[in-house]
A and B are shown apart, each in its own frame.
Chain A
């Protein structure tokens, strides 16, 4: 965990080069483009995931609390890219520098309500998952006055941020354009007038169409999110990932299974095991694979993916970036990015799955 942006040891060179895009440059100047979009091409589902991470799909969680969850999780994970972006977002929304500094120092600050503190503590536990949050953590949220759907959305936000942090860290994304926009003297001058627009656009709830054909891991979580736009947003991404032809379903199922075992998420593991069975694995073979992290059935590439996925369960920023650089050797851009996206989502799902205890 870090307490300021300067403390983060961040790789200066991204894992893959950005794709040149004049339209992106134009949008970035007004803070309407994210860095990820430039780096995630050509993996379509990842680009869509990046877009869906920028819109509000959790209407039951106040916008500011959503931003605070993003900030706290990014700080905890020492993700330079996400931490800077959330910090800038909160500044633009009207949070003073002094208040953000106090929040960075301690969640015990008086500026937060009891409810907000409870939500932020819970989000941090979900993101860390070392060990997994328990039933009593959920009870604390209920006692603080949160409803079942609010708890599900808070868990979703914590999990999706843990996922976004991994994505940004593994690729070593440079700072978000929002940081520059926030620091610009002209936009600072305009801020009192533009704040209302920014808040309004951040408050707008986005709703995606639920894809009809999704059969991969994460179905339990989607069920738990029923009633929230987050359900369709997550389903869109998972369906895109599951149906992508860049890597095989076998590789995808392996990633979800090993991360679920690493995070002791039985529900996620059961779904991944079901997917592996569909790929011709027997239960004995799967158990052997997940116990020893090895199998005669794995080819060298799959074995490499398995070990990479397993190492992403724990967060040490520089170590993750080094790991990604080693893993990237000899891989095509699309394969590398898809695997990074898959491990990020597998981590996000296994963490947010704590919401299943309430359903």
Chain B
């Protein structure tokens, strides 16, 4: 009888112990699952925020492809207008200023230039030293890309003039910004390695836009457009045709037009 009772107590104790161990294990597993769910939620949120940020720099379908495959193969031919802007004699200017002042001046200039571009539907593709490269017509398609690019160039001229007033008040030298605009077909897509991807456009149009920008010094004007961009402008724009000039990489001289004024409304 005593042995049977002892056995029963033993079995009960073992069962209680087993249940307790199981309960502890289950509780730990539940906590672990909760922890994993929170971690997954956070990782998903981080990824979504990253995707959302990247959507601003590349078309959504390209971003989705990069997420799915790790790379993008969807380079496409697009007609775009490329705007190049840079500061005249910036290297000489930089030698006369402290690094802090230089960075502050550059940031103010980039801010003014970027605002003018994005406000008119453009996309700042790159800052190259003191230069700005902007694209109109990609990633978002835009049938009025040349018109918008020239209006952005004029807005940039006004914004830099306002910025120069600020600089003068601080006894700093004003910036002389020159702009070149050209349009044509480019290959647009995400390029780079898995670690360092960027949405950009590739093609002769990009080089020509940069060459046209450098012609501004020769012609003594601040905004120059190519003959391909000219038809996008109507009589509200005051433009002046300039003599053709040879530029690097072109067999034929390039015809350009100076944009002098714009009458809105």
Question: Which of A4, A261, A294, A303 is packed against the most chain B CB atoms within 10 Å?
Answer: A294
List chain A residues, Cβ under 8 A from B144.
Answer: 262, 293, 310
| Interface contact B265-A300, CB-CB below 8 Å | yes
Q: Which of B52-60, B97-105, B243-251 contacts A (4 or more CB under 8 A)?
A: B52-60
| Interface contact B140-A130, CB-CB below 8 Å | yes
**What CA separation (Å) do A105 and B44 show in the bound complex?**
8
Contacts A288-B234, A294-B236, A314-B121: A3 and B48 contacting too (C-beta < 8 A)? yes
Residue B19, interface by CB 8 Å: no
**What CA separation (Å) do A3 and B47 show in the bound complex?**
10
| Interface contact B143-A262, CB-CB below 8 Å | yes
Report the minimal beta-carbon distance from A124 to chain B, rounded to whole angstroms: 8
| Interface contact A261-B143, CB-CB below 8 Å | yes
| Interface contact A130-B141, CB-CB below 8 Å | yes
Residue A264, interface by CB 8 Å: yes
List chain B residues, Cβ under 8 A from A264.
Answer: 141, 143
| Interface contact A7-B140, CB-CB below 8 Å | no
**What CA separation (Å) do A153 and B236 show in the bound complex?**
44
Contact with A along B214-238 (1 / 0, CB 8 A): 0000000000000000001110100
| Interface contact B48-A131, CB-CB below 8 Å | no
| Interface contact A294-B234, CB-CB below 8 Å | yes
| Interface contact B48-A128, CB-CB below 8 Å | no
**What CA separation (Å) do A303 and B52 show in the bound complex?**
34
| Interface contact A292-B234, CB-CB below 8 Å | yes
| Interface contact A4-B48, CB-CB below 8 Å | yes
| Interface contact B52-A130, CB-CB below 8 Å | no
- In the complex, residue of chain B having the shortest beta-carbon distance to the beta carbon of A295: B234
**What CA separation (Å) do A76 and B48 show in the bound complex?**
13
| Interface contact A314-B52, CB-CB below 8 Å | no
Report the minimal beta-carbon distance from A72 to chain B, rounded to whole angstroms: 12
- In the complex, residue of chain A having the shortest beta-carbon distance to the beta carbon of B231: A291
A contact patch SS = helix
- In the complex, residue of chain A having the shortest beta-carbon distance to the beta carbon of B233: A292
| Interface contact A7-B52, CB-CB below 8 Å | yes
List chain A residues, Cβ under 8 A from B141.
Answer: 130-131, 264
**What CA separation (Å) do A7 and B68 show in the bound complex?**
22
Residue A1, interface by CB 8 Å: yes
Contacts A131-B141, A261-B143, A300-B265: A3 and B236 contacting too (C-beta < 8 A)? no
**What CA separation (Å) do A291 and B140 show in the bound complex?**
18
| Interface contact B59-A130, CB-CB below 8 Å | yes
**What CA separation (Å) do A330 and B190 show in the bound complex?**
44
List chain B residues, Cβ under 8 A from A288.
Answer: 234
**What CA separation (Å) do A50 and B68 show in the bound complex?**
37
Report the minimal beta-carbon distance from B155 to chain A, rounded to whole angstroms: 14
**What CA separation (Å) do A33 and B51 show in the bound complex?**
35
List chain B residues, Cβ under 8 A from A3.
Answer: 44, 48, 51-52
List chain B residues, Cβ under 8 A from A131.
Answer: 141
Residue B147, interface by CB 8 Å: yes
Residue A356, interface by CB 8 Å: no
Residue A2, interface by CB 8 Å: yes
Within 8 A of A (CB), among B95-115: none
List chain B residues, Cβ under 8 A from A7.
Answer: 48-49, 52
- In the complex, residue of chain A having the shortest beta-carbon distance to the beta carbon of B139: A130
List chain B residues, Cβ under 8 A from A1.
Answer: 51-52, 55, 60
Report the minimal beta-carbon distance from A323 to chain B, rounded to whole angstroms: 11
List chain B residues, Cβ under 8 A from A125.
Answer: 61
**What CA separation (Å) do A291 and B265 show in the bound complex?**
15
What are 11 A-B residue pairs whose CB atoms fall within 8 Å in the complex? A1-B60, A3-B52, A4-B45, A7-B49, A76-B60, A108-B68, A292-B232, A292-B234, A292-B236, A293-B147, A300-B265
Among all A-B residue pairs, the 7 with the closest Cβ atoms:
A292-B234, A3-B48, A131-B141, A130-B141, A130-B140, A314-B140, A1-B60
Given contacts A130-B139, A294-B236, A300-B265, 15 further A-B contacts (CB under 8 A): A1-B52, A1-B60, A2-B48, A2-B52, A7-B48, A76-B60, A125-B61, A128-B60, A128-B61, A261-B143, A262-B142, A264-B141, A292-B232, A293-B144, A314-B121
